[in-house]
Amino acid sequence: MSSCEEFKGVLVLEDGSIFEGKGLGAEGEAFGEVVFNTSMTGYQEALTDPSYHGQILLMTYPLQGNYGVNPEFTQSERIWAKGFIAMRSSESFSRYLKENGVPGVQLPQTREVTLKIRERGTMMGAVLAFRTKRFFRFSPEDILEQILRTPTPGELNLVKETSTVREVIYPSRKSSPRIVLWDFGVKRSILELLRPLGEVIRVPWDTPPERIVELNPNLIVLSNGPGDPQHPALEPAVKGIRWLGEEGYPLFGICLGHQLLSLAFGGNTYKLRFGHRGSNHPVEETATGRVFITSQNHGYATYEPSLPEDVHVTHRNLNDSTVEGIAAEGLKVRGLQFHPEGGPGPHDTRDIFPRIVRWALEGGGG
């Protein structure tokens, strides 16, 4: 291959839009749901967040890779995003993507793409990154046809692919409390904030509730994860969550875990037009009026009118008034749609983890 060949990159959207730029990362093609993240930092955390499985990630901040790559920032063992889009990228970051087999494109029109997604809603798309001679083997018509044939993340059971496949025990100097982490695609930063608080037992996504009871937990944490909370494969988990809650076990859900709690206790969920992905989302705690700046990454939300009278909204998004937290009256059930751990993002809400553990140990009231 001649070194003088141009490395071309192209983004194709399901509405037929084509955006040309420079190639980034690995040579190849990636098909997935195109989403944007407004964070100014955190590109590495976002790429390795299992919740981005099945998606092509566009970062709206114009420069990516400007502070390097650090293993401490990764949120899992691999990159989960299918492809990457940036206005500009450092060479070292492009090498990081290449080493991990992720194709990308540098586009001068990232703002135009973002506005298109905001106006039309999230779309499926494809990223192509090839040297000149190979690139011209592809026709836009063929790519568009393949985009339209590609299943959306909501149609797939992506939780199965991101969850642990076996139980993992993380011992602690503290003999109690015992925290069962129900893994639907958990981020490493959640695990790191739970481990100092007690013994953590991480269990697979399809663990029967009877097995969780055998583990004798003081608190059950339902993790974040990818895909549609109403996917049929998650129905047994939803039923198990309700049973555990009615049996009196303290439950705390984050992101997808929050949505599963909403479904389990009588609510419904729906797909947002373009989702919430970024590190600057203001959320109000309804009881106090206190406002937090939060990290978010979700494409689905709880449909507030569907919630029964005994499920209360505890937190609300100040940008669009969507539900950001719930609590079930008379039960030890709490959920948060945003990411209290940050990773990336502000640490304003990290104290929620020790507070939730105390809440569980004190009987789950208040």
CA-based Rg of the chain, rounded to a whole angstrom? 21
Do 141 and 183 reside in the same domain of the chain? Answer: no
Under the banding of pLDDT at 50, 70 and 90, the label for residue 133 is: low
Query: In angstroms, rounded to a whole number, what is the distance separating the alpha carbons of residues 28 and 9?
Result: 10
Task: Kindly report, residue by residue over 82-108, the tens digit of the pLDDT.
Answer: 999 999 999 999 999 999 999 999 999
Domain boundary among the residues 117, 150, 183 is at 150
| From 28-42, 129-143, 190-204, 207-221, the region with the lowest mean pLDDT | 129-143
Query: In angstroms, rounded to a whole number, what is the distance separating the alpha carbons of residues 136 and 8?
Result: 10
The predicted pLDDT at position 1 comes to 41
Instruction: Judge residue 1's burial from the number of C-beta atoms within 10 Å of its C-beta, 0-12 exposed, 13-18 middle, 19 or more buried.
Output: exposed
The predicted pLDDT at position 363 comes to 78
Catalytic annotation on 339? yes
**Structure-token match 């499985």, residue found:** 53
Residue from 33, 45, 324, 341 carrying the catalytic annotation: 341
Does residue 1 belong to any structural domain of this protein? no
Domain boundary among the residues 150, 184, 201 is at 150
The predicted pLDDT at position 137 comes to 66
Do 195 and 285 reside in the same domain of the chain? Answer: yes
| 3 state SS of 111 | helix
Residue 158 has pLDDT above 70, yes or no: yes
Under the banding of pLDDT at 50, 70 and 90, the label for residue 2 is: very low
Of 45, 48, 44, nearest to 78 by C-alpha is 48
No. of helices (H) and no. of strands (E), the chain: 11, 19
- Eight-class DSSP state of 151: P
Range of the domain at 113: 7-150
Query: In angstroms, rounded to a whole number, what is the distance separating the alpha carbons of residues 93 and 67?
Result: 9
Give the CATH number for residue 219. Answer: 3.40.50.880
Beta strands in the chain (DSSP E): 7-13, 18-25, 28-37, 55-59, 63-64, 83-86, 88-89, 103-106, 123-131, 168-170, 178-182, 199-203, 219-222, 251-254, 268-285, 291-303, 311-317, 323-328, 333-336
Do residues 167 and 200 lie in contact, with contact meaning Cβ atoms separated by under 8 Å? no
Does residue 287 belong to any structural domain of this protein? yes
End-to-end alpha carbon distance in the chain: 66
Do 179 and 133 reside in the same domain of the chain? Answer: no
Do 185 and 228 reside in the same domain of the chain? Answer: yes
Do 266 and 334 reside in the same domain of the chain? Answer: yes
Catalytic annotation on 4? no
Sign, Cα dihedral of 51, 323, 43, 146: positive
Q: Give residue 167's Cα distance to chain centre.
A: 22
Of 180, 147, 184, nearest to 164 by C-alpha is 184
| 3 state SS of 137 | coil
Of 261, 248, 189, 241, nearest to 216 by C-alpha is 248
Do 141 and 273 reside in the same domain of the chain? Answer: no
Give the CATH number for residue 12. Answer: 3.50.30.20
Helix ranges (H only) for 231-325 are 235-246, 256-264
Sign, Cα dihedral of 224, 227, 233, 238: positive
Do 312 and 357 reside in the same domain of the chain? Answer: yes
Do 38 and 171 reside in the same domain of the chain? Answer: no
Tell me the average pLDDT across 264-288: 97
Do 144 and 45 reside in the same domain of the chain? Answer: yes
The predicted pLDDT at position 15 comes to 96
More confident residue, 5 or 335: 335
Do 207 and 261 reside in the same domain of the chain? Answer: yes
| 3 state SS of 161 | helix
Spatial neighbors of 18 by CB under 8 A, at least 6 apart, are 10, 11, 12, 140
Query: In angstroms, rounded to a whole number, what is the distance separating the alpha carbons of residues 199 and 180?
Result: 8
Task: Kindly report, residue by residue over 214-258, the tens digit of the pLDDT.
Answer: 999 999 999 999 999 999 999 999 999 999 999 999 999 999 999
* Structural domain count, the chain: 2
Catalytic annotation on 53? no
Residue from 53, 258, 315, 339 carrying the catalytic annotation: 339
Domain boundary among the residues 124, 150, 176 is at 150
Do 319 and 200 reside in the same domain of the chain? Answer: yes
Residue 134 has pLDDT above 90, yes or no: no
Q: How many residues does the chain have?
A: 366
Residue 366 has pLDDT above 60, yes or no: no
Across the chain, what does the average pLDDT equal?
95
Tell me the average pLDDT across 317-337: 97
Residue from 255, 258, 281, 298 carrying the catalytic annotation: 255
Does residue 366 belong to any structural domain of this protein? no
The predicted pLDDT at position 5 comes to 75
Does residue 94 belong to any structural domain of this protein? yes
Query: In angstroms, rounded to a whole number, what is the distance separating the alpha carbons of residues 116 and 120?
Result: 6
Task: Kindly report, residue by residue over 251-274, the tens digit of the pLDDT.
Answer: 999 999 999 999 999 999 999 999
Do 197 and 245 reside in the same domain of the chain? Answer: yes
